Amino acid sequence: MAEFSRRHVLKAGGALGALGAISMASPANATPWTWSPAGSVAGSGAGVDPRYVWDPEADQLVASLITRGDVPRVNELLRTWTKNGQPLPSGLPTDLRDFMERARQMPSWANTGKLATAVEFNKKRGLYLGVLYGLASGMMSTVIPKEARAVYYSQGGADMKDRISKTAKLGYDIGSTNAYRPEGEMIVTCVKTRLVHAAVRHLLPQSPYWPGVADEDIPISQRDMMVTWHSLPTTVMQKMNSWRVPIPAAEADAFLHSWQVGAHLLGIQDEYIPASWAEADAQAAQVLTPVLAPTPEGLKLADILLNLGAEVDAGILSKPILGAFTRFLLGDEIAGWLKIRREPVWDTLLKTAWRPFIAVREGLLPFPLAPEAYWLFDEFLRKAALLFLSEARPISIEIPVTNRPS
């Protein structure tokens, strides 16, 4: 385990997983919006269906940057802005600088004590987070129709490995020891991602392909972003609870808080951000679970993800084993949508031995009489967390100026 670091775990957790970090979008459905803003971090709000709310300030600004031809110069300048406490680069357009100075501010309700506790949670649960962000959240993103389509038809859809390396950054940054501190990078990542979202909203309706399959005029609404948000922390916590991982209440609350702050910095309005896990579960039941469905684009993305995983290691991380974990985490129906074949050995092993394996890791059971299975699971966790790393080169989240070319 010496060669295995938290950086590898958390960064790779975003790797398979946070497809939505660069293009958070998911299908709006016909279900009326009934979730009350009284359950949000704001505690109140207008209660407007977030399906019809976007990010007007960022959207107008980025559309102007694209129209003015400023994006290439802005991207070049922003490559040097990497730390939360770092001044913005000189030479940025005044309107962009003013927006970014506002957007980089932590919310008034951010709690430094909770954020410090979240670091402890991430240290303890890093291995689980790597797999869950990847094979639960990441593969789930391929059956969120609007997210799959937005990813597939936007610029990054033409180079999924590059996109994944960039989305991996969110998974690493939010779990780092200094995520929101001046020397950390989470605020920078969120603000840059917010700009990318605005660019996709401007560009995607101009695609010759996306309008023909989309069921809305403008992608990435506030509701879309919350759907993707739930595919990350809400899904992760639900899975760990189902595995009976013992998590102290203060740590669970702190993990939620770190994602609440992240949501705010990504441009999600406070009245849509759940204030508790109970509220998160209730909102997810309304906006995430009912919209999961297969699409041709999602099927292609899922195949790309599984093949990229298999490229890393032809043994433990073979495509059939990654598929078996996907089936185990997301269920037979979703596995069927993604045309994942059954793997009798691994399917059975996961169903019968995974919870005992978790109990052993958590010190709740003595070492079982099946060391081979224990080693396989442990090796999978370690190798899955090393997927798609880009340690040899910096990862730069940049504003796109085109859609997928074909």
Binning the chain into helix, strand and coil, the percentages to the nearest 5 are: 65, 0, 35
Residues 63, 69, 73, 79, CA torsion sign = positive
Domain ranges in the chain are: 6-21+52-291, 296-384
pLDDT at 22 (0 to 100): 43
DSSP letter for each residue of 328-345: HHH-HHHHHHTTPPP-HH
Question: Among 29, 284, 14, which Cα is nearest to 145's?
Answer: 29
pLDDT at 8 (0 to 100): 42
Mean pLDDT by 10 residues, the chain (406 residues): 40 41 44 92 96 97 98 98 97 98 98 96 85 86 93 80 69 88 96 97 94 92 96 96 95 98 98 98 96 95 79 61 92 97 92 86 67 62 50 70 88
pLDDT at 374 (0 to 100): 56
Q: Is 183 helix (H, G, I), strand (E, B) or coil?
A: coil
Strand partners, 154: 403
List of residues 6+ apart from 125 with CB closer than 8 A: 240, 245, 247
Q: Which two tokens stand for residue 315?
A: 């043994």
Residue pair 308/388 in contact by the 8 Å Cβ criterion:
yes
pLDDT at 295 (0 to 100): 96
